[in-house]
Structure 1
Amino acid sequence: MKWIIVLVLLLVIGSLGSALYFMMKDKGKSSRMVHSLMLRIGLSIALFIGIWIAYYFGLIQSTGLKVAQ
């Protein structure tokens, strides 16, 4: 499960990089940057839902660290 999370995070970063590339190359004349950003948002939402489902089914567990005391 950890490798899937890392893979999706790398895909999110790659999509963000491609959006930056298209922004610089196309200068706003095409919608490729928008499509790359939409893909990034979709991957991020899918990752969040996947982590939530994996936690629900016990595939991953919390560390038990307290955020605030």
Structure 2
Amino acid sequence: MQEHLPLLIGTGTGLLIGILMLTIGFFSTLLLLICGGIGALIGGIPVIRRLIIGWIERLIDKIFHKF
């Protein structure tokens, strides 16, 4: 089972993407994949996560500092 795990994951992912394309359409599926990829990138790489959190904190400070 362990040696076939990448094959099972790939098959399951392909099946899920195919079902999504048939039910919600190509561009909606593409948007979901892009958002999921960005989320995985943010969650998986701590340096990027810290950069984005710092950027959001600076943005919030700029917005609310004016009031």
TM-score, L = length of structure 1: 0.34
Specify which structure has the bigger relative contact order, considering alpha-carbon pairs within 8 angstroms and separated by 6 or more residues: 1
- Higher helix content, 1 or 2: 2
